[in-house]
Structure 1
């Protein structure tokens, strides 16, 4: 038997998971809100690699500035990204010279990062994290296909429909080519996968190339090594996955069966997953290549892709943070990224599919069902560390679905085969996008997704909500998507209110003939593309009468069809929702009129009312979490009349609560098993109200602590709720393991995992309802299919009604220990099942039918006896008395509780705050009685707190103190000024002052010391700049006035030094920590005090820019008054030197401006840097400029003897300072000369010299 440690290590090594961490921070922000340089965060995976490394190097990715490009459009986005990478990486590359143990392997611009390899252990890793400008240091982690990629040889029956695959038939792709003449011609689709067999008869001639005579297909084919560097290879497939995917996009009909959605589209292919596995560097390089293609030598080649298709990521779902920035930048560049959603079932999803900017695709079958393995869920913005601000808080994944089950396509060697997975679905969508982009090249990625959504097929088999986590918005239809944008004819018009003539925006206009829809714009206008012919146009909107008309469309023209809608007469719908067992009104029930926006919630007495319902017929529905929905009631509403309708909530069937319904893959969970057998269930936590359940399964919920576990047992005892405890090899709070740990009953517990076990079984030792149907001595085979065959057993289960009824056994070696235990308790029952626990490696999918029977028997025997009349408590009307509160300030939450049951009863009301339960409040209510329960909550930590009482939710936010600022000048309000806070280790933007010079903002901590900074550049009406500061401690809401304190006037004058000259002064006050703020030449009104400053010069030219930074100087403006300072003017050089008789020459040098201000850097750049000057730490200014202007100008020292012969020469590095030369034997006087190139800064070159004689 292998030990737990060895086995766990083995499993982790073979798990198909990629966990990706967050990487986004700006190195040079356009708006200054960065903190002083700190050590970058290190990926824990990387630390583990360094710790575990015995021999060989370790790779790390240094992630730098990830600021979004400033615009959109391919050329601008790619250009911005390349420029940002070039300037920021230059600083890091220079700093890397100090770490000889680290070698740069590659650089990237789509995600601004450098790949390095090092062998220096933790010290080197810490050194990498300390490099200037590095935000995160992450591992070059593994990416894998989301499918196994194995295609069965085919086709089989049902794979084709006439002359096309069933997938093409279902999405009507062939109609697009046959009727509209659109096949993807001119559109480039880049598939990033395992490679492609470009010689396959269905794919031959379709791979892009800039040179038909070059077999490497430059611009159309690329393969990357693990470092993301291109390899010189010919097109090939390292598996068969990439060829299969490519066939679904580009394939022809060489076999007589049409297999490709867009057979005319140009194929590009990047081999990034050799054999189905690659690194993040390979994937990032592939995406980068798709946006700016190059050949295998790195030379630009070909045109960028219009569409990227990817089927990779974490197999069991997860958020891959590192894929956000590449996906976002592709989106901004106008490239549509299509990604498979994954194959881990409902409730599970993974990146890149769950990244909002990408199109995630689910997998449907030939019957338009969603394949059980197809992933879907609700993605959370908060799950990403630094998501784009314009993302919604949540979104449904997948976006759409497409055929992905038993899909026939190409496989290497000229063959064909069928495969299943979301990898087979995504190319159907990628091909459809190619068709769309041929028909309408101007469509943006967002518009493409909108068209796919609006034209998709959807029904209510997975619920009426659209989108949902199975279909997304629906299964795509290529013809319905492309036809509206392909035709040069259609219907156009305006929809108005018939009574007022006002335009009606957001209304649905449908072409029933073509099956297409659109919505009216803000002016009421609409436009529907349609083929020539008669079209039935329907205009409908809630509250208006529906108008239907036949409109004749002629070729190459748009028929005009204006519609005036009349307001429909309204009536009222009211009634009461009651509970079937008692007749009492039920509060908190959601009541809706289907196919309308009308919904309401019943009051404490169960009544509801819709006061204004347009006349017509409606289905009235009601829903209450935890209870069955009543059958919809049809109600007819007449204008001016009241329709009264009552609804009855049925008595709910027994519900099973599941503690620890793992693993994360839904199809493998205990909950999924119960769903499949029609047993209502809910995943619960330790603080759940157990009275809502009839039985509880304790699977693997983790260890709650002895006190909480005792509370749980007491609550289930008191309520008469049976509990079924499970166990398995892994120990993460398994049910039986908890009984052993906290109660020592059972007294012992054993566990094992051995792939050599032929089968596991429960061997019956006593008759009992849990093993009904099985004889004593019979083996109930539990698992004979899983690879790991995890199992556990126990002994010493005795006393207080406990007994064992079956042993745990291996079918080869026999009994291991006890397997099934039962306990008759005074008020409930317990069952122990030692092998039924579900984990990552064994689950209900491995159970035999007999094992499932035992599990269901256990639930039946342990479950509470049905009692329809018992007390049932329903919460409603959760209220929080304040949306925000200061730290420590109390907030009151209240909930109304009603006993809707037929008998009096007891209940404990529980409110949870961020998942942690507040002290419960006991209730005793008569049948039909209600009461309000309140909690007083106070929290110190800032942030939003989520409140929950069963299904009711609310929130409040603990905020920092608010500052109400008024800033003024001698002439009036200081309007349009930037407001910032210095404190808590950083600089935080606080907005702008309004026209009255006021601004209101929150600080960043509950109680802290800050300096408030108010600054403004000169305006058209005020030539002065302002820098106002005040330091204060802020622990409560505070009113602050700036501009009335003692002020000084600082006149800064810059002398011109050549064409394109710009000059600034960075000022740092004694109250602003490290931060300095840029001001141009002119007058600055500043708060009186002491300042430090540096001057910055830029000289722009068409070829190269020159930048210069002066040394730190001081200015004492403490006494209010007017001060002046001049800078700029032609550069000068100085040198001093001394010489010993031993021949040691030492000296100092400097380069200054015309006013004697020393330069610490003069540098040049080929790029146009710093579109907006950042606020920086004054000490870091040379490094910031050096990062954007990476070529320091040359400074050389030369020494000449008395004959004028040069005896020494060497370069000097910025900044100026000391130098030393060993001349050896000296003869007479020497001349020391320092020559400096000043670039565009006049005079361009300067020389200083000094004669020196031995002393």
Structure 2
């Protein structure tokens, strides 16, 4: 986790947030000062370096998508994956002029934007188009620079101690203070949710053999998207390889009530493993696009997204590469919502006020050295700041905001427990982990309960219920962080509309 504010910058953030709060709460309108452009981050694409791109068509439809595919070919690229549902084409090319040439040769002025999705060469190589999906571990040649941190980022989750399951297999619900905080224990006296509800875990894969998860993982609906953004349904593709993160998230959502280990928020819900994290811990835009479209087309009701899309913590509208990738992910999220999917996302672990964009010190995180860059209000954490997505901050056992949690008036929708959360871990084990990554799945579980009790509710209605039914939580006072919290009891920058309430969801 990184501490993003210090000294003078912190004071500026507080005063600006206070001005914004006045307007938000009905006070006098205050004109915001003109914003500076974000610091340019040029992505070099020299001839001979295999790079990945998204190509967005102007009018998303199959015909325009076919024209974009032809333009990719004519510009010296390879079409890796097309999503005509949203008018997005994923392409690879070794040509430095690829971005310019695609727009130049596109017939009918069909291409809206083209952008590189990462700052380094493609690690996975270009899939053999027309062949069956490759099995996990099959890699092409690469000039990719591997992350120095062996553990995936996934919104900066913090791993705690790993514990083997107790020999007697005694239930461990008594250790799950988080379930009591959101009243899931009381909700489960009424219902454990419905088997018809399917929750997609867009993450690092789920251990489908874990005794608390095996009954609930729907392998037929699971997929891996890390093969350059192309769906891979081969055996084992959606299982975890280098990270326990997805397995931990899955347990919080829907660990089964089976007399073993723990119990999830919605223990009767089914889970789909949608693997969007590669073995080096990156979630590139094409992986996320694949995940959201897959969830939409395979009948998922809820997705949990405990990550931010790499390599930028904030993607800026005033930079062409970033804007194109951001637009591709936005289209995928909007498409999934249109087909009935509620998307829940972690707010992030940078102790950052997302309503006052100032600097980003950790992007791009796939470069040899990230830069300190100025950002502005057109720079967004995706998917958590995209329209329709439920943004979740993290609370402690005492219902305080977790020290690592991002915040922001008008940015946070609801809060949920995220500090030292006990959940499932690969190999039939259990572990405590902390992060907004752990808070988000509590809300995804409550959304699954709402879908169980309101099967005909739209995503917008589910989101409204999540917020309206949350337990209002006031800003803290004194030196415990109150100086950074703005807003009212009804809605503030720490907790949004409050701590999510599972009991209200099933009453």
SS at match of 2:283: strand
Equivalent in 216, 237, 241 of residue 240 of structure 2: 237
Matched, 1:433 2:447: yes
CA distance in 2, matches of 1:479, 1:333: 27
Structure 1 unaligned runs (5+)?
1-43, 68-83, 209-216, 294-303, 379-395, 484-1255
- Where does residue 330 of structure 2 map in the other structure? 324
- Where does residue 367 of structure 1 map in the other structure? 398
Residue 372 and residue 97 in structure 1: after superposition, are their counterparts in 2 closer, same or farther (change >3 A)? Answer: closer
Matched, 1:128 2:102: yes
Matched, 1:93 2:69: yes
CA distance in 2, matches of 1:174, 1:144: 31
Equivalent in 328, 333, 350 of residue 344 of structure 1: 350
Which structure has greater helix proportion? 2
- Where does residue 310 of structure 1 map in the other structure? 305
Residue 201 and residue 137 in structure 1: after superposition, are their counterparts in 2 closer, same or farther (change >3 A)? Answer: same
CA distance in 1, matches of 2:408, 2:253: 26
Structure 2 unaligned runs (5+)?
1-39, 120-151, 166-170, 317-325, 356-380, 477-486
Residue 148 and residue 54 in structure 1: after superposition, are their counterparts in 2 closer, same or farther (change >3 A)? Answer: farther
Residues 847-903 of structure 1, C-alpha deviations (whole Å, 9 max, x = no match): xxxxxxxxxxxxxxxxxxxxxxxxxxxxxxxxxxxxxxxxxxxxxxxxxxxxxxxxx
- Where does residue 140 of structure 1 map in the other structure? 117
- Where does residue 134 of structure 2 map in the other structure? none
- Where does residue 254 of structure 2 map in the other structure? 250
- Where does residue 226 of structure 1 map in the other structure? 228
CA distance in 2, matches of 1:201, 1:119: 46
Residues 471-523 of structure 1, C-alpha deviations (whole Å, 9 max, x = no match): 1110011002321xxxxxxxxxxxxxxxxxxxxxxxxxxxxxxxxxxxxxxxx
CA distance in 2, matches of 1:94, 1:279: 24
Residue 120 and residue 450 in structure 1: after superposition, are their counterparts in 2 closer, same or farther (change >3 A)? Answer: closer
- Where does residue 112 of structure 1 map in the other structure? 87
Residue 144 and residue 226 in structure 1: after superposition, are their counterparts in 2 closer, same or farther (change >3 A)? Answer: farther
Matched, 1:354 2:358: no
Residues 1137-1162 of structure 1, C-alpha deviations (whole Å, 9 max, x = no match): xxxxxxxxxxxxxxxxxxxxxxxxxx
CA distance in 2, matches of 1:149, 1:107: 36
Contact 2:47 2:95 in 1 (8 A): no
- Alignment length (residue pairs): 380
Equivalent in 408, 414, 421 of residue 435 of structure 2: 421
Residue 62 and residue 163 in structure 1: after superposition, are their counterparts in 2 closer, same or farther (change >3 A)? Answer: same
Contact 1:363 1:371 in 2 (8 A): yes
How far apart are 1:363 and its partner, in Å?
A: 0.4
CA distance in 1, matches of 2:68, 2:225: 28
CA distance in 2, matches of 1:149, 1:368: 19
Matched, 1:458 2:453: no
How far apart are 1:286 and its partner, in Å?
A: 1.0
CA-based RMSD: 2.7
How far apart are 1:154 and its partner, in Å?
A: 4.3
SS at match of 1:397: coil
* Structure with the larger RCO, 1 or 2 (CA within 8 Å, 6+ apart): 2
CA distance in 2, matches of 1:477, 1:98: 54
Contact 1:307 1:430 in 2 (8 A): yes
Contact 1:182 1:439 in 2 (8 A): no
How far apart are 1:267 and its partner, in Å?
A: 0.8
How far apart are 1:54 and its partner, in Å?
A: 6.1
SS at match of 1:117: strand
CA distance in 2, matches of 1:119, 1:171: 51
TM-score by length of 2: 0.69
How far apart are 1:365 and its partner, in Å?
A: 0.7
Matched, 1:195 2:205: yes
CA distance in 2, matches of 1:197, 1:155: 15
- Where does residue 497 of structure 2 map in the other structure? 473
How far apart are 1:218 and its partner, in Å?
A: 2.6
SS at match of 1:377: coil
CA distance in 2, matches of 1:223, 1:325: 17
Radius of gyration: which is bigger? Answer: 1
Contact 2:74 2:102 in 1 (8 A): no
Contact 1:189 1:307 in 2 (8 A): yes
Contact 1:308 1:338 in 2 (8 A): yes
Residue 186 and residue 54 in structure 1: after superposition, are their counterparts in 2 closer, same or farther (change >3 A)? Answer: same
Residue 314 and residue 436 in structure 1: after superposition, are their counterparts in 2 closer, same or farther (change >3 A)? Answer: same
Residue 85 and residue 145 in structure 1: after superposition, are their counterparts in 2 closer, same or farther (change >3 A)? Answer: farther
- Where does residue 461 of structure 2 map in the other structure? 447
How far apart are 1:207 and its partner, in Å?
A: 1.5
CA distance in 2, matches of 1:103, 1:356: 31
Contact 1:146 1:314 in 2 (8 A): no
Residue 407 and residue 324 in structure 1: after superposition, are their counterparts in 2 closer, same or farther (change >3 A)? Answer: same
Residues 820-868 of structure 1, C-alpha deviations (whole Å, 9 max, x = no match): xxxxxxxxxxxxxxxxxxxxxxxxxxxxxxxxxxxxxxxxxxxxxxxxx
Matched, 1:268 2:272: yes
CA distance in 2, matches of 1:149, 1:281: 26
Residue 147 and residue 448 in structure 1: after superposition, are their counterparts in 2 closer, same or farther (change >3 A)? Answer: same
* Matched ranges for 1:1035-1046 at <5 A: none
CA distance in 1, matches of 2:172, 2:499: 18
Contact 2:55 2:114 in 1 (8 A): yes
SS at match of 1:416: strand
Matched, 1:56 2:56: no
Residue 271 and residue 57 in structure 1: after superposition, are their counterparts in 2 closer, same or farther (change >3 A)? Answer: same
TM-score by length of 1: 0.29
- Where does residue 169 of structure 1 map in the other structure? 180
Contact 1:348 1:377 in 2 (8 A): yes
- Where does residue 376 of structure 1 map in the other structure? 407
Contact 1:319 1:354 in 2 (8 A): no
Contact 1:144 1:278 in 2 (8 A): no
Residue 151 and residue 111 in structure 1: after superposition, are their counterparts in 2 closer, same or farther (change >3 A)? Answer: farther
Contact 1:176 1:183 in 2 (8 A): no
Residues 35-87 of structure 1, C-alpha deviations (whole Å, 9 max, x = no match): xxxxxxxxx76x6322xx3643222211113x5xxxxxxxxxxxxxxxx4311
CA distance in 2, matches of 1:154, 1:456: 32
CA distance in 1, matches of 2:213, 2:391: 25
* Matched ranges for 1:907-946 at <5 A: none
How far apart are 1:114 and its partner, in Å?
A: 1.3
Contact 2:207 2:240 in 1 (8 A): yes
